Chain A
Amino acid sequence: MNKKNCNIIIYIEDTMAHARLVLRSLKSIEFPGKIIHIKNSQEALAYINNKNNFTTKKPSLFLIDLKLAQINGLEILAKIKNKNYLKHIPAIIFSTSMLLPEQKKALKLGAAAFHVKPEGFSEYCSILKHIIKAHING
């Protein structure tokens, strides 16, 4: 196992405010790794499709917003699970609300988990702590 500070989270989110909350939470819980924030679905697709992005160092986790403009989070998830060089990396869907059909679809597509964005900063921190513990340090 590499040093912990080498962990990379790829975070796909097009709502700036929500992204800020996640980044501040990670800072607050002192996540030692690196976070790459991709700001829209088009860029995310381009990033995923480029194998070179993953040759030297593979990310430890994908965190994907469900309702992205144009290409939604489930489509991105499907694309990730379609790539041999990415499909073993845990991918988590982060959704504004609990939508059972979407949750089902996400798990069927191979999502490691489906989380609802919480109301309140401290809860953001505890959810992210939990995610990191379960999928990176676990």
Chain B
Amino acid sequence: MKKLKIVIIDDEPAVLFSLQEFLTEKGYSVYSARDGAKGLAIIDKKKIDLVITDLLMPVMNGFEIIKHLKEREPELPLIAISGIGGIENAVKAIRLGAWDYITKPIKNFAEIELITGQALEKARLKQENKNYKEKLEQLLKKKSAELIKNEARYRIAESIAHLGNWEWTFKKNKIWTSGEFLQILAVNRFPEGNFLDNLLTFVDTADQPRVQRFFKAAVKNKENFEIEFSIKTAANKVKNLFSICRPIINVQKKVIALHGTIQDISKQKKAEKERDCLINILEKKNTELENFTYSVSHDLRSPLITAKGFAELLEDDIKNNHGEALQENLYYINTALHKMSQLIDKLLNLSRIGRLNNKFSTIKTEQLIKQTLDILQKEISRTGATVNITTKLPTIYGDAQQVGEVFQNLISNALRYKNPARSPVIEIGHCRKNKRNCFFIKDNGIGIEPRHYQRVFNMFEKLANNENASGMGLAIVKKIIENHNGEIWLKSKGKNKGTVFYFIFNSRNEQKEL
């Protein structure tokens, strides 16, 4: 172990000598100086651990040394030596900064040993203390820096995840909210006071009772909860939030606070909605496909049954010389085959819509309808129908051939399903429905019962048993209109009270072709 260094300053050689001898023997490294200046020089040079100085000395007395050292090395322990009866001097020395004092004449060496030891121990403790303090400060600095860094990281993580945090301590309604929490609500600070009440001011009215219920249950049942709700932010933006909340419970098993998160899941919600929408469309297509298979299996088989049945009959009748029946057999076979080929053509036509499109263009509908009426002229004269265009007709955007087919199908339906008691009167016109161009074709024919409003658009569906009808016309019309993003519906006052078909072509000029 390193020896501790002591310097003794005294103008009395006897004192110097006896102290030096004693302390050296006790294991210290001892330096001696006859006056203050020499003593300070030693202190400057050597790393002294303890100063023992006489007070009353010529040239530079002990008080001056104390003052001097107090300034330069305040941590250096110093013991004053005072003469007999010089207790005032000793007190003065201690006031100036001496740690302790011993009295002359030096006789009680045990006391000297004790005081020296105490002073040195105190210095050591002081130093140790100082070292600890420094270490602690360093550690604190390091930890603070880490904390600041971590907080920055936390903020970034919050912002990436759109995840805000909050804590509500019930005592005095103490509220803490994180940066992202405020960001999500678009506020600078969250108000003090009842957290739930303040949160509810952002929550959508429809969700408020549910949010309230969840909070109350969390406190009552001491249970976590997860909830989704919508809010309107301070910036008037609607957001979907997902929130998890955990009650904080004290030793008395009482809920004293709630801690929770809110996460902005608007994007996910939007994606979910889009997905649901797609599923819906898919389901609709699926149903359409099912209807299609149903219809094909049923309606294409019907003429087949007829043809095969009568073909076999034909064979029998020839064998049995039933000449009179041959005509009928052939008639049914021919009719069935004709019907079948018609159905197949219409099916092909239907499948072509949506797959093979002509270029969309602007269509002057008035002109188009006049052309259509020309095509139907024969049928119009045969039925004695009156067809009137009752309003001005707009220019629309779409597939001219297909749009023409819509008008042709609907007008020929109006002619076909006429009331047998009177000549058809057909009105074609245009009105505004929901700010969109809506066409209507009105007739005074046999009418459609409300329960059949949807069925008429199905494939092969015929409400009247008309041998000439394929049951495909309205299915094709509907498909074309869907192809133009439009809608078709109908109204009828019932049997023999006529029908009005309304339809909208919703395709826009800027829209890309399908």
Contacts and interface: CB of A to CB of B under 8 A. Distances in A.
Interface in A59-117: 67-70, 95-97, 99, 117
Interface in B248-297: 294, 297
B298 A18 contact: no
A122 B312 contact: yes
Contact of A119 (B305, B316, B463): B305
Nearest to B305: A117
Given A21-B310, A96-B302, A69 B465 contact: yes
Q: With a 10 A CB-CB cut-off, give which of A21, A95, A124 has the most chain B CB atoms.
A: A21
A9 B116 CA distance: 136
Given A40-B465, A69-B462, A120 B309 contact: yes
B306 interface: yes
Chain A interface main SS type: loop
A21 B336 CA distance: 13
B308 A119 contact: yes
A71 to B, nearest CB: 10
A70 B309 contact: no
B297 A97 contact: yes
A10 B302 CA distance: 21
A17 B308 CA distance: 11
Interface string B364-398: 00000000000000000000000000000000000
A96 B305 contact: yes
Nearest to A21: B309
Q: How large is the interface on A (under 10, 10 to 19, 20 to 34, 35 or more residues)?
A: 20 to 34
B313 interface: yes
Contacts of A120: 308-309, 312
B301 interface: yes
B302 A24 contact: no
Interface string A121-138: 110100000000000000
Given A15-B306, A119-B308, A120-B308, A20 B465 contact: no
B309 A121 contact: yes
Nearest to A65: B302
B197 to A, nearest CB: 55
A120 B336 CA distance: 14
A134 B316 CA distance: 27
Q: Which of A17, A18, A21, A97 has its CB near the most chain B CB atoms (within 10 A)?
A: A17
Interface in A1-39: 14-18, 20-21, 24
B215 interface: no
Nearest to B303: A17
B307 to A, nearest CB: 9
Contacts of B313: 21, 24, 121
Interface in B446-466: 452, 462-465
A66 to B, nearest CB: 8
B332 interface: yes
Given A70-B463, A119-B308, A17 B336 contact: yes
Given A120-B308, A120-B312, A96 B298 contact: yes
Contacts of A96: 298-299, 301-302, 305
Interface of B: 294, 297-299, 301-306, 308-310, 312-313, 316, 328, 332, 335-336, 452, 462-465, 467
Interface of A: 14-18, 20-21, 24, 40, 67-70, 95-97, 99, 117-122, 124
13 contacts: A14-B465, A17-B303, A17-B332, A18-B309, A20-B328, A21-B310, A96-B302, A97-B297, A99-B297, A99-B298, A117-B305, A118-B305, A124-B309
